[in-house]
A and B are shown apart, each in its own frame.
Chain A
Amino acid sequence: MRQIAVLLFLLSLSAVAAPQKKVLSPEEFEQQRWMQIKKLIEQEMSTINKARRKSVKLQYRMFELKSEMIKLYKEKENKQFVSLRQKLGNKVSRAQIFKKTLSLYNDAHKYGLALLKRYPKTQYKAAIYYTLALNSRDFAYDNKQLGYLRLAIDNSTGQSQVNYLARTSLAEYYYNEKKWKSAIYQYDIVLKNQDDEWYSKNLLNYGWCKLKSHDFEVAISSLEKSHKLSEDEFYVDVRDQAMTGLINFYVYGKQIDRGVKFIDNNAIDKEESLLKLAQKASGKGYYAETEKIIKDLEGRIDPIKRAELYADLRLFQFEVYKQYHKTEKLLAVTKLFPETKFNDYQREDAVRKVSDLVGAKQVILKKDFSKHDQVYSKSTLNEIVTYFDILSAVNPPEKAQYEYYKAETFYSVHEFKPALETYKVSLVDYDKTPSQKDLRKLDLDAIFSCIENIKFKKKEKALELEYAYTKYLSYWPKDKKAQSIYPRLYALYSVDKRFDKMQESLDKYIANFPEDLKKQQDLYRAQIDVLIKDKETQLLSQKITQMQKGYLHFAKDEVKKSETILANILFNTFQELNKAGEPEKALLGYQGVHFTEYYPDSIKAEAAFNMGMIYTDLSDNNNAIKWYQKSFEFYTEKEKNEKRIFLEKMALRTALLHDFIKAARLNKFLLKNFCDQREQNVKIFTAAVQNDLANDYITKVSNTMDKYKHCVSQFPNSLKKELMTHYFENRHENTLLDFIDEHKLNVIFPDEVAFYYERMFWQYYGNNPGWESKLQYRLKKMNHPKALLLTKTLPMYEKLQERLKFFKRGSIPTNGVKDPNIFAGKLQTRLGAIQPILAEADNIFAQGHGQISVLVYDALTDLTDHLASEMAQYELGIDDADFQKQFKAQMNSLAANFESQRNNYRHQAQGLIEKYELLVVRRNESHEASDIIKISDIRPESSQFAITFGLGL
């Protein structure tokens, strides 16, 4: 049967191997092999079935093939069974899975029985029973094995192969059924046949049967023989089983030394076998023998080449020393664990062993600890610590856990300080390599508890709390406890003024609890307060910059308040320097602040502005304006507007302090920077112009107007009038005329313009024809009553002048005149010609123009004076003394009349001037004191005698 199976297997191999091109997976190969065998069986069955007359031999062959087919399906269905069993467990029913096997079994079983029935005396009878027995044993488990084996033995001779095989199977059956005596009986027969390769196996089974019968000597001998025979290739090698058995047998048989010797001489792996022997011996209480073997093995097992066995030895030693309470040895061998190369299983075992041990020790330590007087076994504590250290070394992934347990051990005996440190180590280890169990909360709770229990100095406690808080927040930044930890951590940092940490913790608090805004604002304020108190300006400025950027949504007022405080701190020193008369140093200080990047813009601006103010005080206008301008680059619009008010006041004050140039520059600075505030600028524009006027800088005034007039909503008429007046009063005549033209002031202020034109006209009248005609033209164009009066009356006066000039030239030539009547006639004509002139003069007087009237009086005074002289000068060449006397008297009388008239004109002119208080600039002959003035013009220059009224009332 076995030969057939081997044949079929070989065939299947060759069939599979021949056409193979592609490499098959093991499953595919196995499947192909199975199919091939099945095919071969089926082909052979088919061949037998095709035979018309089937002999007993062929039918017996058919029975064998059916049995082979059962085996083939058993193999297949067993795989399915194992697979399903793995998936579904015990729910899987054998009957369901082995359906085909059982079906084929039943078919073969029926076929075999039928064959026996058909051929009761056939030579294959014993073989058929034997096959039926094996089929029952291997495929059906229907307890028919024993019966069929007995029938096979009964129907075969003692020398036959079937008989031997059936008896061996029967011995094995009894062996398996633990029917030791029956088994020994069958083996005693079977073992007579040493020509069986299974003889070694049979000896092994026989030895076990003898052991069970307490026949240790035979048992040991059988197994030793089995072991030795196994070395022979003829026999099946059962040395492993034999050695396993022997190890037990030597111990049970109290022949440990024999065992050591046998092992040393025969064992394949002597050290392993010896270790097993020691293990068995130890288990049975043979400590001395065990220790002896251990000592032997310690020197024999190479820890590197036989690492696994070496590890087994150490683990075994641990067990032995623990079992036999060899404490020191136990600790010593455990200390070797970290250097021992355990495989996974061994490591797990080692960990479990040590854990159990240390756990027990912890219980003992705690149980013995007296809370009252704090007494405990320090050696036990040290041992526990050592064991945990060993565990950490053996099982590094769980180091965090062992540290935690270690810390717990310290804590249990109130050694809070080492406990605290160890909990911290546990956390560190957990962070590096998390243990299976999440220890973080346990560790941190314990740490908080330790901190509470340890009497720390304040600073030490703060450090520990910082560690604990920080750790906690790193793990659970958003849980409920964290919400209360953030402020506490912040407070811790606050005590030491660790501002960077304060900020960091606050930032995290904000990120995780945005709903705590008010609390966070309070914390930030507290920080600001400390910075202010300590005058930490750099940091304070950073904080304020943060606030400005919207950090924690502080109200603008509050931000501004902080800025002001910072500015006060920063600037206080500089202000003192300035007050102490060291403005240069103050300027340097402000400059430093202004150019420091980290200060908020408002501070930079304020520094620049303060510099501007110092430069203003130093009368350094250029720098003052430069720095005001720089400040405006940093101020917000609102701040600029606030500064505008200040600068307006400053400009005003500067003007009040007589520095009109500086004041004007400040005004213009405001106009430039607030050009769009056109309504408000009217006042500043006016001030700028007025300040320039105060210095009589009319070019600057013009520039100011040109440059900034687009920055005002209107150019006030009052200012125009002021400018016009200024130009006039200060003799800026060209500018005045341009200004009048540009702003059409002749329309807005016609009275004033006409007045100014006329005054200028009289100033230039007769001495500057260009200006004279220019002004006359303007007066004519004005169409103003006063202007028209001048332009109308002036030609009349000039015409009169022409007539008088002509008249004055018409004196009577007297040379050769001998007839007084002729002279008298001519004189009458000449004097008669005066009347129309006087009428013309009267006409001019009637116009009512003061200055021209005075000029007419001048002309008439001159005329009468001329006529008086003319009359006095007339002489006639008549040689008659009486005539001459009479003629002279008459001429003198006429002259006197004219002189009287002249004086009369002077009085009239004076009367006119007095009456109207005329301030005429053109007055000569008609002046009452013209005689004196002709000698020397002693009229006082008014300004020379003008007296200021300084003392007041």
Chain B
Amino acid sequence: MRLLLDWDYRMKLLMIGVIFGLVSCASHKNPRGIKEANLDGLKYESLTRYDSLRLDPNLKLKSELALCHNENYDEAFDKFKAKLDKNLNNYLYWNQISTCYILKKEYSKAKNFLELAMAQAKTNKQKAVVLNNMGVVYLEKKNYHEAKEVFKEAIKLNGDTLTPRFNLVQIYLHFGIYERAEKELVVLLQKAPTDIDFLNSLAHVKLMKKDYKTALVYFNRIPKQYRSRDDVATNLAMTYYMLGLFEDAKKTLSNADKSNSSYVSRQLDITKRLEKVDGK
């Protein structure tokens, strides 16, 4: 059965994607949220991928960081300010504030507070934490060179931390440095074999290296409910396409989330190819 991916439908898809994108902002829905903690290899380092249910206990505790992840910035900042005097020398306090500003996309402020955090960070582990966030700021401003350097520095200072390694992988993936990405992902997956993003990233590496079957192996390790996630689904659909499994590709695209416009656009690209295959 051929999916009805006609023009009108594609336009609707695009519109829904845009609208969903807007709605998701308003409802603080985390498109990359992971419901199951065991699938979140970075759960001890970051709340970024906590879904609302996992975030909830922290919110109830009025954790400033959880508030920021819930986009309640004003409340979070008020609480931070109230705690200033007790935390002047606490690197984590400054690091969390900077994290909030990163989430709020106020990167200059984030960087300012990261410098304070770095000044108070005493151990290499602490410095690695701060450097990771510094790298995130660089990434957000597309300063990849600087980002790469600080992530690498963070890993060097604390090889056990996963987040900077994962972030470094994202740079490698962006710039097609797949061997290095794979090497880092292997390390990450050893520590968190079920992490969805780790698996997706490695599957992406394999896809880009044209090792489609292996890619499919890693995609298959991702729980089914996460395979519809826009990024996973896009990669998976492309893999199916490259393997000539066009129906699977179509099915994957059909089930894919349409919350992110850039992924919707990519999915459309693949859809076009599939349509060509169908001789349309």
Residues of chain A whose beta carbon lies under 8 Å from any beta carbon of chain B? 653, 655-658, 660, 690, 693-696, 726, 728-731, 759, 910, 913-914, 917-920, 923, 927-929, 931-932, 935-953
Contacts and interface: CB of A to CB of B under 8 A. Distances in A.
Contact of B148 (A660, A690, A919, A931): A919
B208 A917 contact: no
19 contacts: A655-B112, A729-B141, A730-B107, A730-B141, A731-B141, A914-B178, A919-B144, A928-B210, A932-B208, A938-B234, A938-B235, A943-B140, A944-B262, A945-B197, A947-B48, A949-B136, A950-B48, A950-B95, A952-B96
Contacts of B173: 939-940, 942
A943 B44 CA distance: 21
A948 B238 contact: no
Ranked nearest first, the 4 interchain pairs of A and B with the lowest CB-CB distance are A936-B269, A929-B208, A950-B99, A949-B132
B108 A935 contact: no
B108 A910 contact: no
Given A658-B81, A919-B144, A942-B147, A936 B266 contact: yes
A932 B238 CA distance: 8
Interface string B195-209: 001000100100111
Interface of B: 32, 42, 44-49, 65, 68-69, 77, 80-81, 84, 88, 91-92, 95-97, 99, 102-103, 107-109, 111-112, 116, 123, 125-126, 128-129, 132-133, 135-136, 138-148, 158, 161, 163-164, 166-167, 170-180, 197, 201, 204, 207-210, 231, 234-235, 238, 241-242, 262, 266, 269-270, 273
Most chain B beta-carbon contacts within 10 A, residue among A913, A944, A952: A952
Contact of A928 (B32, B166, B171, B176): B176
Most chain A beta-carbon contacts within 10 A, residue among B97, B173, B207, B234: B173
Contacts of A914: 177-180
Contacts of B235: 938
A51 B179 CA distance: 185
Contacts of A946: 135-136, 139-140, 167, 170
Contacts of B125: 953
A951 B177 contact: no
Nearest to B49: A947
A935 B171 contact: no
Most chain A beta-carbon contacts within 10 A, residue among B92, B176, B210: B176
B13 to A, nearest CB: 15
Contacts of A657: 81, 84
Contacts of A918: 175, 177
A948 B139 contact: no
A943 B139 contact: yes
Contact of A951 (B45, B145, B234, B273): B45
A947 B46 contact: yes
A693 B107 CA distance: 11
A948 B136 contact: yes
Contact of A947 (B108, B136, B179): B136
A935 B269 contact: yes
Contacts of B65: 950-951
B110 to A, nearest CB: 9
Given A656-B84, A657-B81, A941-B174, A950 B141 contact: no
Contact of B208 (A695, A919, A920, A928): A928
B135 to A, nearest CB: 8
Q: Would you call the interface of chain A mostly helix, strand, loop, or mixed? A: loop
A910 B208 CA distance: 12
B170 A949 contact: no
Contacts of A920: 175
Nearest to B204: A940
Given A936-B238, A942-B139, A947 B270 contact: no
B129 A932 contact: no
Contacts of A937: 266
A835 B66 CA distance: 63
Contacts of B103: 948
Contact of A658 (B77, B107, B111, B123): B77
B209 A928 contact: yes
Contacts of B177: 913-914, 917-918
A405 B46 CA distance: 107
B129 A952 contact: yes
B92 A952 contact: yes
A938 B135 CA distance: 22
Contact of B102 (A923, A935, A948): A948
A938 B266 contact: yes
A940 B163 contact: no
A696 B111 CA distance: 11
Nearest to A658: B77
B44 A951 contact: yes
B170 A940 contact: yes
A96 B112 CA distance: 126
Given A660-B112, A952-B92, A947 B163 contact: yes
Nearest to B124: A953
A940 B139 contact: no
B160 to A, nearest CB: 9
Most chain B beta-carbon contacts within 10 A, residue among A655, A657, A730, A942: A942
Given A928-B208, A945-B32, A947-B45, 6 more contacts: A914-B177, A917-B177, A935-B270, A945-B201, A948-B136, A951-B44
A690 B108 CA distance: 10
Contacts of B48: 947-948, 950
A950 B66 CA distance: 10
A227 to B, nearest CB: 126
A317 B171 CA distance: 140
Nearest to A927: B176
Contacts of A932: 207-208, 238, 242
Contacts of A923: 176
Given A913-B175, A940-B204, A950-B95, A945 B170 contact: yes
Nearest to A909: B176
A445 to B, nearest CB: 70
A947 B129 contact: no
A729 B145 contact: no
Contacts of A726: 108
B163 to A, nearest CB: 5
Contacts of A949: 45-46, 95, 99, 128-129, 132-133, 136, 161, 163-164
Contacts of B42: 947
A43 B23 CA distance: 160
A942 B174 contact: yes
Contacts of B45: 947, 949-951, 953
A935 B148 contact: no
A932 B270 CA distance: 10
B270 A936 contact: yes
Contacts of B270: 935-936
B216 to A, nearest CB: 14
Nearest to B239: A932
A730 B108 contact: yes
A694 B164 contact: no
A928 B45 CA distance: 33
Contacts of B166: 945, 947
A940 B174 contact: yes
Contacts of A729: 138, 141, 143, 146
Contacts of A943: 136, 139-140, 142
A910 B182 CA distance: 14
A160 B96 CA distance: 162
A950 B129 CA distance: 8
B111 to A, nearest CB: 8
Contacts of A728: 143
A940 B231 contact: yes
B207 A929 contact: yes
Given A656-B84, A693-B108, A951-B44, A939 B174 contact: yes
B102 to A, nearest CB: 5
Contacts of B80: 658
Contacts of A695: 108-109
A951 B178 CA distance: 29
Contacts of A928: 176, 178, 208-210
